[in-house]
Structure 1
Amino acid sequence: MANSASGDSMTERIVRVLDTFTAERTVQTTSEIGRRAGLPSSSAHRIVDELVASGLLERDEDRRISLGLRLWELALRGSNALRLRQAALPHMATVQSDVREHTQLAVLEQDEALFLERLSHPDAGANITRIAGRLPLHASSSGLVLLAFAPHELRERVLAAPLAPLASGTITDAAALRRELGHIRTQGWVVAPGSVESVSTGVAVPVRDRGRVAAALSVVLPREADPMGPLAALRAAASAIESDLRADRR
């Protein structure tokens, strides 16, 4: 696609526009979108108008902009993430019913853990994750599992970058993180107390598809809870999900 005077392509500008929407910021004005995307006002209005016309964005009666249903529709067509989520949901429900705490499914996306699904119980403890939300790979049980089994180049890139703490239990020392990732690869699971919130413990296991780790399945427990029962439930669920994914390919 043609480049702008600044050298960025139309595709890059469209992505920057879409990236201004977050789980907390679902509705914006065109001016706000342009400012957050770093675009001139005229470019922002033209791109937003074209995306509204295509259905990728929607404009309400107050001329505020939100993500469009067509974007959601296109994202789901033939999506590996949708296939994984559909296979996982029944088994996540079993874990959630048994453990009665937050049960989550996350995948690796652009050096972060992206959460595809979360099931919760009314009495469950604290949890900052949400569907379509992201967390750093080093700072959650799901992220640690995904990082442990990620390609070597990605692991080294994360280990070389500053490791910001989210809570008192977040591993921020690269050498300590490297050791923890080795343990996860050996044992096939992780228990991460206080890595995201000081009052919680994350427990996660890998889910494999076609021989590679495609996702992490996790629960978020109160800090004082025994993780061994939930860990057993997660491992059984991961095995069942993998079996369903294999059957789906036949």
Structure 2
Amino acid sequence: MDTPAPAVRGKRPPVGEPVIDRALGLLGAFDPDHRRLTLSELGRRAGLPLSTARRQAERLVAWGALERTAAGEYVVGLRLWEIASLAPRAVGLREVARPFMEDLYEATRHHVLLAVLDGDDALLVERRSSSRAVTVAYQVGERLPLHCTGVGLVLLAHASSELQARVCAGEVGVTPTAPAPDPARLRQSLQRIRHTGVAVLAREFPAPVVSVAAALRGEGDRVVAALSIVVPAGGASFRMVEPAVRAAARAVSRGIGAPGAGRERLTAH
């Protein structure tokens, strides 16, 4: 669903709006459901008149933040991806986590996900998958709802009470495929996750799956990310997957500076 665009005065952008804000507005017009946009769509979603959108888009294309397709549509450019890949909160984490994600993948041949909390969502920063694994809709760079994904529940369980309250109230993360949660049940789930250290979640869309997720801790024992395996429902028992997820989470946590994290290296069986 499109986000309502801010009002535009006549044929000029809002008074006093910096050029950088207009450019960021154009970049923010893209999302997982809108990866290719015509100029008119770009301007409408950014709340800019066509002439301003065209001028700003041309500058972004020249710099490499946007690219034009053969059909004349705009897509996110590779240079923007190169810059984003340098984000320190994801780079070091991904480098440490990859070998253990590979171990989990080799042991299960299913999806292995790594996500961090970003605003009101879980941001997927790494994924290891097999083409033969069960279908999931998750892509690297995609934002996942906190209340109905394994990694999201782990991150939410250790998030601020203010964010937990808003999610429980259905104020954020609600979509047609992620309906509003039952507040009492969600709070019980979050308490259980904090007690057991793992989240186990069954989902039906886009295919019946079970996600088993654990927290990754960094300096000061602060939860900085979540790691999960997504397996077909009715397949491998989550009780068989859970120890591997726990071991990988402890190993990654040690690698990113958690005090007292386990020293074991996950071995595929």
Please state how far the C-alpha of 1:29 moved relative to its aligned partner: 2.4
Task: Give the aligned partner of residue 28 of structure 1.
Answer: 37
Change in Cα spacing, 1:61 to 1:195, as seen in structure 2 (3 Å) is: closer
Change in Cα spacing, 1:216 to 1:175, as seen in structure 2 (3 Å) is: same
Please state how far the C-alpha of 1:246 moved relative to its aligned partner: 2.5
TM-score w.r.t. structure 2 length? 0.82
Please state how far the C-alpha of 1:238 moved relative to its aligned partner: 0.9
- Counterpart among 88, 92, 104 of residue 83 in structure 1: 92
- Counterpart among 247, 253, 257 of residue 246 in structure 1: 257
8 Å contact 2:116–2:124 — kept in the other structure? yes
- Counterpart among 218, 224, 228 of residue 214 in structure 1: 224
* Residue range with higher mean Cα deviation, 192-201 or 213-222: 192-201
For residues 131 and 222 of structure 2, the distance between their equivalents in structure 1, rounded to whole angstroms, comes to 34
8 Å contact 2:111–2:133 — kept in the other structure? yes
For residues 195 and 207 of structure 1, the distance between their equivalents in structure 2, rounded to whole angstroms, comes to 26
Task: Give the aligned partner of residue 43 of structure 1.
Answer: 52
Task: Give the aligned partner of residue 151 of structure 2.
Answer: 142
Structure having the larger proportion of residues in helix: 1
Q: Does 1:201 align with 2:210?
A: yes
For residues 232 and 195 of structure 1, the distance between their equivalents in structure 2, rounded to whole angstroms, comes to 24
Please state how far the C-alpha of 1:39 moved relative to its aligned partner: 1.4
For residues 99 and 82 of structure 1, the distance between their equivalents in structure 2, rounded to whole angstroms, comes to 25
- Secondary structure (helix, strand or coil) at the match of 1:217 reads strand
For residues 177 and 166 of structure 1, the distance between their equivalents in structure 2, rounded to whole angstroms, comes to 18
- Secondary structure (helix, strand or coil) at the match of 1:246 reads coil
8 Å contact 1:139–1:165 — kept in the other structure? no
* Residue range with higher mean Cα deviation, 179-188 or 16-25: 16-25
Q: Does 1:155 align with 2:155?
A: no
Please state how far the C-alpha of 1:26 moved relative to its aligned partner: 3.0
TM-score w.r.t. structure 1 length? 0.87
8 Å contact 1:125–1:222 — kept in the other structure? yes
Q: How does 1:1-250 map to 2 (within 5 A)?
A: 4-5=13-14, 8-60=17-69, 62-77=71-86, 79-162=88-171, 164=174, 172-194=181-203, 196-197=205-206, 199-210=208-219, 211-225=221-235, 226-246=237-257
Change in Cα spacing, 1:118 to 1:166, as seen in structure 2 (3 Å) is: farther
8 Å contact 1:107–1:113 — kept in the other structure? yes
8 Å contact 2:170–2:180 — kept in the other structure? no
Offset from partner CA, 1:164-211 (integer Å, 9 cap, x none): 47669x772111111110111111101111265561111100011112
8 Å contact 2:13–2:48 — kept in the other structure? no
- Secondary structure (helix, strand or coil) at the match of 1:235 reads helix
Equivalent residues, number: 244
For residues 176 and 122 of structure 1, the distance between their equivalents in structure 2, rounded to whole angstroms, comes to 34
The residue type equivalent to 1:204 in the other structure is A
The residue type equivalent to 1:44 in the other structure is A
8 Å contact 1:166–1:195 — kept in the other structure? no
Please state how far the C-alpha of 1:136 moved relative to its aligned partner: 1.0
Aligned-residue sequence identity (percent) comes to 39
For residues 111 and 233 of structure 1, the distance between their equivalents in structure 2, rounded to whole angstroms, comes to 28
8 Å contact 2:67–2:77 — kept in the other structure? yes
For the aligned residue pairs, the C-alpha RMSD in angstroms reads 2.5
Task: Give the aligned partner of residue 4 of structure 2.
Answer: none
5+ long unaligned stretches in structure 2:
1-11, 259-269
For residues 233 and 251 of structure 2, the distance between their equivalents in structure 1, rounded to whole angstroms, comes to 27
